[in-house]
Each structure stands twice: as structure tokens, then as C-alpha cells.
A and B are shown apart, each in its own frame.
Chain A
Amino acid sequence: MSAALDVSGLTTRFDTRGGSVTAVNDVSFSVESGRILGLVGESGSGKSVTGFSIMGLVDEPGQVVAGSVTVDGVDLRSLSDDDMRKMRGSRLAMVFQDPMMTLNPVLRIGDQMAMAVRVHRKMPRRDALEESRKALEIVGIPSPAERLKAYPHQLSGGMRQRVAIAMALLHRPSVIIADEPTTALDVSIQGQILAEVRRLADDIGTAIVWVTHDLAVVSSLADDICVMYAGRIVERGTAEQVIGNPRHPYTQGLLDSIPARQEPGGHLPQIPGSTPQLSRLPSGCPFRPRCSRATEQCKSEPPIDSRDGQIVLCHHPLEGS
């Protein structure tokens, strides 16, 4: 089965007066229909810019300089602006961290959803509203017909995020890019939304890229995980592989520093130092200065090490079990 989304060698650069910064560096992955890929990283790792690059939403001074993005076999980078606009929202949709980035505060939910339906498909307004109602139903919004008449400010944060997800679903896209969509929500509401998202992938077969800093969320939600550091994917594999048997020292370090995995009150294993600035990356492996396994060899570009489909960018990967 071919992948719904295929990203290959994607590289995004920001040329600023202070110099050129490669925010996304040779990123490759693919997501099949019905699967959820977790794209994990700390702040500044390039995970969000990767999402925006796939959507073709990187603004000046940023620019996608290399690589390809394919959705259902269509190469997005070869499309004209007009054709790309037709793809966005219909075959490919995005959910943002703040639902108010998606929702227009002065329009009723039903009005803006019907508008979004009719941008891509010619149909009477009445039918578009019915489509919208169905989408709200799918994401578990109670009394959806009533909610169509509400304004965004009348809904809670969790409800707004559900509406944003419902809007992304309107045209049954093959791919949804979700950028930290539950980060601002309370845990009980996050739990409800994660359950709905899992159901969307399983029942409707949407391919989902879930961008987040939260390893706990992806480990319970995602099928596959990519770990990003300083613009690159440093480890990629199934959730079982990456969480259960991490091979990159950075992934291992991240997992160890989560309090829930350690004895309460004990010293938490920590990664020394802080995330590097992209404009001042060390030569070779960018994780080198913080890595306990680093040697002279790490001053050269790290090689790709692959085992059972689990890929690591490291000179000295952990052997694991």
C-alpha cells in the first residue's frame, strides 16, 4: 500500500540578516492511511516548521529549499499556488495549537463551516450546513445542530478545538497535520480528544501527523514516532521501538528525564546543557556537546544506522535489547 503522505529530504531554510538558519534539515518520513505519526521534539527542534513546510505555509524569510512532499501521489512542490490552495483544506488539512487561529470570532460556527465546505465543493448552503453538522457529530460534540448557531466565544477551549478538528475533516482529507492541538487543554479534555483522534484514524483512515513536545501523548497515541533535534530527525521507528528500545542517546535522555519513569523523590537523570541555537550549531552531530557517548568521531556528520526499520542518526547508537 502506498503512503498517503511521503516526505523526502525536506529542507527549510531561513535567510536572515544574522545569517542563514536551516530549521528543517533533510527530513524524510511517510505515513500510511489510518496511521498516526508522532513528530516529537523540544522547542527549536524544527517540528512545527516541518508541519508548516508540508502545508506550504512557510513565510518569508523562510523557504523550502530542497526535498519533496507527496500527498496521494501528487507532488505538492510542483503545484502552482492556485492548485496548492485547492489541495489545502481538501486533501491536506492542518489543526493548530490555538483553535482561534482557525476560527473567525465574528462568524457563527455554522456559517464559517459551510463557507469552508463550499470553497471546495459546489452545493446549496443547506447541504453544506448538514455536512458541517455531521462533521461536528464525528468529533463528539453534543447537540451539534445547536452548536452550528453558536459563536466561537460561546464554546469552551476543548469544544473550539473539536470544531477546528471537525473543520479539518470537512472534505475527508487524506492527511491531517496537527500541531500541538491538545497542549493548551486540560488533561481530562485532552483525553477525550485523543480518543476521538485515534477513532478518526482507525475508522475513517485519515493519515495523521501529530506534532508535539509531549512524549507521553505520542507514546499512547502514535503508531510511529520521529524524534527531532536541531532540525533533523535523529531517530525514527514504530512507537514500540522508539519508546521501548530507544537507540539514540538523545531519545534515551528524554525518556529518562520524565519524572513518571523514575522512583519518586530520586535524582532525575538529566541531559546537561540546553538546546543549541540553530545559528550556532557545532560541527558534525549537533547533539555532541550534550552527549555522554560522544567521541572525536562525532565531529564528523553522523551516519544513518538502521535495524529492523528503526533508523538512528548516530555514530554510537545504543545497542538496546
Chain B
Amino acid sequence: MSKPLLTIDQVSKRFTRKPGLAERLAGRLTGGGEPVVVHALTDVTLEVARGEVLGVVGESGCGKSTLGRVVAGIHAPSDGTVMLDGKPITRDQRGTAEKLTTQVQMIHQDPFASLNPRMKVGETIAEGPRYHKIIPADAVSERVGSLLEQVGLEAAYADRLPHQFSGGQRQRIAIARALAMEPELLVLDEAVASLDVSIQAQVLNLFMDLQRNLGLTALFISHDLSVVRHVCDRVAIMYLGRLVELAPAKDLYERPLHPYTSALFASVPTVGTGKRVFEAIQGEIPSPINPPPGCAFHPRCPQAGPRCRREVPRLAQADELRTVACHLNDGGVA
């Protein structure tokens, strides 16, 4: 692999909620009242090559959105470093952070919430490049027009307001706004999850075309396994804040190595004829406030052994291209 564009090195993110006055008073009487710590990300290490689309998949609470936000510089990591093109992303040095906001652009799930309802879409698209002086002021409107055409809309739509567009069209506008900044990296957080299937196909086609033509690098966060398989080169599976498996999409879908990955695939309904039995994963996703000891998946894992309850499995190389965090692939569960 060539030099990675994005390097995520042992990143953890904890959210701490300080107890309120009543809780502190109650705590003084009962001996509790400790701050509540949510372990959203624990020790995540990842690299994304230039021009690559990396899928990040997991269920709610797995930390996939937090990972996207840390990469986009919205949250600072509690531990570890995120580097873009070899330069660390930090929030402390104001200059760096400002440069970063132009290099990483995010596309959100809900295009009804992510566009300012009172701003003409042309203004929404032009605001970033104008502020950061990415394009000369007299070329802005021309650029906005060409961006709108690039995402399959008409240049004349620049004068319209968001409410005049459908959900799919709004998501196109959100993509145009992100591209206007000429970013190095796109972070798409469930970008097609709120769209109807027929519209979802249109937006996915647009994304794949743009990605190829412009050589975009992207972190594609989604819960939808079939969408991820379709657009991603490699896929990272997350569970309860940790990376459990990382592999090229084709290999992962043909032969998942981690029991959680297999179980996830088995519980996804697929379109096909004929009855099928749902092989449900037993139990529920544990709380990230109080994760189980050892491997976080062990209470639900059909293959768990005593070692899984004691020891956190390390992410280890399974073969040339894939890594997996499971004792089954690293000396056994006994």
C-alpha cells in the first residue's frame, strides 16, 4: 500500500458526564457519585490510502459515528493521534484546525437538517470556498453552477431554497457543498440511510461516479451491509467502540473471520424467494458505559471460551490483507 492519506493511530474517545448537584449529594451519602464515562472508541488503529473508500460498519453504539467525527475534527480524541497526509490533526493549534476543516468534509444523514432552510442553495455551496478563499470571488457563481451540474442538478437551481427540493436532491446539494471545498477526504455518515431505495440508487451511482472521476478518498459509515459492499474497497467492522475486523470488501463478504461479522451477516435479511430461518444473534448490545471484561462480544458469542472472558483480543494480522481481533485466530479461546 502506498503512503496512507489518513492514519488513525490508537485512537480512543471517552465522553464524561459530570454528576449533577443532586447526584453529588446523594453520592456523598452512599459513596457513589462518580462521573459517568462512556467508552465510545477504544484503541482504534486504521489507515486509508489515497483514492480508497473505506466502509465502517456496526450497530448502534459501536462508535462508527464518533470515529467519523474524530476524523472530521469535530471531537478531539482522548488518546492517540489522527494524521492526514502525515500531519497530525489537533484542535489546539488554531491554524491547523482551520486548514483541516477544508481538507475533511462531512456529509450527514439527514439532508433536511444539514442545509440551512433560509439560505439559497447556491449561497450554501459558496459559503465555504468564499470564506476560505479557495476560489476567486468573481469565479464563485460559475463554480457553484458547475458543481450543481456535477451532482446532476441544474445550475439555475442555485437561487432556490432547500424546501423546494426532495430528499435525494438535497443530498446531492450536500455533496456539492462538500466538493466545493476541494477536500482531501470525505466522511459520509449514513449518507443514504434516510433515502428511499430508488433514490438511494441514484445517489450511490452519483457518489461512485464522482469518486472515480475525482479520485476521492472516503470514509463511508453505514449500518447497511449491502450498500457498503457495493461502494467500498475495504470494510472495517466495529463492535462496542473497538475495531474487530478489517478486510477487503470481497474477502470479508466471502469469508468473515470474526464471529460477530458472521453473525451480523446471518441476521441481515436478503431479497430472495423462499422462506428462510433468521439466525439471530442472541442477547443485546452491552452498554458502552460498562463494557464486559475481555472480548466485548463474548456474552453473545457462540464460540466464546474462558480466555475471551479474561483477555481483550488484539487486532492481529490474519493474512496479508486482513486483520481480526479474535482469540480464535490468535492461539485459541481456552
Contact = CB atoms under 8 A, between A and B. Distances in A.
A192 B280 contact: yes
A219 B271 contact: yes
A191 B202 CA distance: 28
Contact of B269 (A217, A265, A266, A270): A217
A108 B278 CA distance: 31
Contacts of B166: 274-275
B205 interface: yes
Interface stretch (A54-62, A121-129, A238-246): A238-246
B135 interface: no
A1 interface: no
Interface stretch (B138-146, B153-161, B173-181, B260-268): B260-268
Contact of A270 (B201, B226, B271): B201
A264 interface: yes
Given A259-B227, A274-B168, A268 B205 contact: yes
Contacts of A267: 205, 208
A262 B196 contact: no
A191 B279 contact: yes
Main SS of the interface on chain A? helix
Contact of B275 (A156, A220, A268, A272): A220
Contacts of B250: 264
Contacts of A239: 273
Contact of A195 (B272, B273, B280): B280
A186 B59 contact: yes
Given A192-B278, A194-B269, A219-B272, A257 B263 contact: no
Interface string B236-277: 000000000000011000000000000110111111111111
B204 A259 contact: yes
A258 B31 CA distance: 55
B114 interface: no
Contacts of B199: 42, 274
Contacts, number: 132
Which of A215, A243, A244, A270 neighbours the largest number of chain B CB atoms within 10 Å of its CB? A270
Nearest to A240: B273
A188 B196 contact: no
Nearest to A194: B278
A43 B112 CA distance: 15
A216 B205 contact: no
A191 B281 contact: yes
A144 B332 CA distance: 36
Contacts of A255: 271
B231 interface: yes
A97 interface: no
Which of B197, B223, B268, B282 neighbours the largest number of chain A CB atoms within 10 Å of its CB? B197
A268 B200 CA distance: 10
A189 interface: yes
B285 interface: yes
B230 A268 contact: yes
Contacts of B200: 257
A247 to B, nearest CB: 15
Interface in B202-230: 202, 204-205, 208, 223, 225-227, 229-230
Interface in B271-329: 271-282, 284-285
A109 to B, nearest CB: 17
A265 B231 contact: yes
Contacts of A261: 271
Contacts of A106: none
A187 B226 contact: no
Given A187-B264, A188-B263, A270 B273 contact: no
Contacts of B227: 259
Given A186-B59, A186-B285, A267-B205, A43 B196 contact: yes
A260 interface: yes
Given A243-B272, A274-B199, A188 B264 contact: yes
Interface string A186-205: 11111110110010000000
Given A188-B281, A195-B277, A264-B229, A221 B269 contact: yes
B198 A189 contact: no
Given A191-B281, A215-B197, A253-B198, 5 more contacts: A192-B280, A267-B208, A268-B201, A268-B205, A275-B198
Interface of B: 59-60, 166, 168-169, 196-202, 204-205, 208, 223, 225-227, 229-231, 249-250, 263-264, 266-282, 284-285
* Pairs of residues from A and B, 3 with the lowest C-beta to C-beta distance, nearest first: A191-B267, A257-B201, A260-B226
Interface of A: 42-43, 156, 158-159, 186-192, 194-195, 198, 213-217, 219-221, 239-240, 243-244, 253-255, 257-262, 264-272, 274-275
